Amino acid sequence: MPDAARPASGQTGAMIKVEGLSKSYGGFTAVDNVSFECRPGAVTGFLGPNGAGKTTTMRIIAGLTPANAGSATLAGHHYHDIPNPATQVGVLLDASAQHPGRSGREVLTLGAIAMGLPMTRVDEMLELVSLTPSESKRKIRNYSLGMRQRLGIAHALLGDPQILILDEPVNGLDPAGIHWMRGLLREYARRGGTVLLSSHLLHEVEVIADELIVIGKGKIVAQGTKEELLHSAGTFARGLDQNALVNALTQAGIGSSPSGDGGLRTESSPEEVARVAAAAGVVVTELRAAGGAGLEELFLELTAETQRDESTPEGVAI
Beta-carbon contacts of residue 247 (< 8 Å; ≥ 6 apart): 280
Q: Which of 15, 45, 54, 16 is nearest to 210 (CA)?
A: 45
Does 282 contact other proteins by CB under 8 A?
no
Closest CB 97 distance from other proteins, rounded Å:
4
Segment near other proteins (CB under 8 A); pick from 63-71, 238-246, 273-281, 306-314 = 63-71
Does 267 contact other proteins by CB under 8 A?
no
Segment near other proteins (CB under 8 A); pick from 93-101, 243-251, 253-261, 294-302 = 93-101
Does 63 contact other proteins by CB under 8 A?
yes
Closest CB 107 distance from other proteins, rounded Å:
8
The residue among 113 and 304 lying less far from other proteins, judged by its C-beta, is 113
Residue from the set 21, 31, 47, 79 that interacts with other proteins by CB under 8 A: 79
DSSP string, 213-265: EEEETTEEEEEEEHHHHHS-S-EEEEESSHHHHHHHHHHTT--EEE-SSS-EE
The residue among 16 and 237 lying less far from other proteins, judged by its C-beta, is 16
Closest CB 275 distance from other proteins, rounded Å:
31
Does 75 contact other proteins by CB under 8 A?
yes
Q: Which of 300, 243, 253 is nearest to 275 (CA)?
A: 253
Measured torsion, CA atoms of residues 137, 141, 143, 145, in degrees rounded to the nearest 10: 150
Binding residues among 160-199 for other proteins as defined by CB under 8 A: 162-163, 192, 194
Burial class, 109, CB count within 10 angstroms (exposed 0-12 / middle 13-18 / buried 19+): middle
Q: Residue 51: what residue type?
A: G
Beta-ladder partners of 17: 37, 73
Does 39 contact other proteins by CB under 8 A?
yes
3 state SS of 317 = coil
Closest CB 232 distance from other proteins, rounded Å:
17
Residue from the set 20, 50, 69, 81 that interacts with other proteins by CB under 8 A: 81
Does 1 contact other proteins by CB under 8 A?
no
Count residues contacting other proteins (CB under 8 A)? 58
Q: Which of 48, 27, 73 is nearest to 197 (CA)?
A: 48
Burial class, 125, CB count within 10 angstroms (exposed 0-12 / middle 13-18 / buried 19+): buried
The residue among 188 and 299 lying less far from other proteins, judged by its C-beta, is 188
Residue from the set 1, 20, 50, 64 that interacts with other proteins by CB under 8 A: 64
Taking phi first (over 0 means left), then psi (-120 to 50 degrees means alpha), and beta for anything else, what does residue 51 get? left
Q: Residue 276: what residue type?
A: V
- The alpha-carbon radius of gyration of the chain (Å, integer) is 23
Does 155 contact other proteins by CB under 8 A?
yes
Residue from the set 24, 29, 82, 123 that interacts with other proteins by CB under 8 A: 82
Segment near other proteins (CB under 8 A); pick from 27-35, 44-52, 105-113, 251-259 = 105-113
Q: Which residue ranges make up the site for other proteins (CB under 8 A)?
A: 4-12, 15, 39-41, 59, 62-66, 74-77, 79-89, 91, 93-94, 96-102, 106-107, 109-111, 113-116, 155, 162-163, 192, 194
